[in-house]
């Protein structure tokens, strides 16, 4: 049996202009994708977002929204009303994530059973 010898990976395998290590919106925060889904249909207030995001604290939601705003994925709009009102909406950049998210969700639906079975088998074989 012959074994194929692969070339070693070069130090510059990831070019400087490749953002693979710095795509902040694609997972920098645990709740990012769920927040994007919540904003898919249109702008929402902070309190509206907390309802489907059971388990998130106000602090973490605020930090996540701020991070997404910094990344250009979410727009925060303050309305000069009494009481004050703030809404969050996806920007065109944020909306551009919906297609890739749909693809990941479709992959997950198709392969989740196999992935979970592989994990279970690994744990059985390695006693973990």
How does pLDDT run across 30-73, given as a tens digit for each residue? 888 899 999 999 999 999 999 998 889 999 999 999 999 998 99
Q: Which domain holds residue 112?
A: 24-126
Q: How many domains does one find in the chain? A: 1
Whether residue 111 lies inside any domain: the answer is yes
CA dist 82 and 54 (Å) reads 28
CA dist 76 and 65 (Å) reads 9
Q: Are 27 and 36 in contact (CB under 8 A)?
A: no
Whether residue 49 lies inside any domain: the answer is yes
Q: Please write the tens of the pLDDT for every residue from 65-76.
A: 999 999 899 999
State the CATH number of the domain containing residue 61.
1.10.10.10
Whether residue 31 lies inside any domain: the answer is yes
Residue-level pLDDT at 23: 57
List phi, psi (to 5°) of 84: -60, 145
CB atoms within 10 A of CB 76: 14
- For residue 15, what pLDDT band results from cuts at 50, 70 and 90? low
């Amino acid at each position: 049996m012959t074994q194929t010898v692969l070339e070693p990976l070069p130090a510059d395998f990831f070019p400087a202009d490749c953002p693979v290590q710095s795509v902040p919106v694609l997972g920098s925060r645990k709740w990012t994708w769920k927040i994007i889904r919540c904003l898919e249909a249109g702008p929402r207030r902070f309190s509206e977002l907390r309802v489907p995001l059971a388990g998130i604290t106000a602090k973490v939601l605020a930090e996540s929204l701020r991070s997404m705003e910094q990344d250009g994925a979410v727009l925060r709009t303050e309305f000069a009303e009494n009481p004050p009102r703030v809404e969050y909406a996806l920007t065109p950049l944020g909306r551009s994530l919906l297609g890739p998210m749909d693809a990941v969700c479709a992959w997950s639906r198709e392969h989740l059973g196999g992935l979970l079975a592989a994990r279970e088998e690994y744990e059985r074989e390695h006693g973990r």
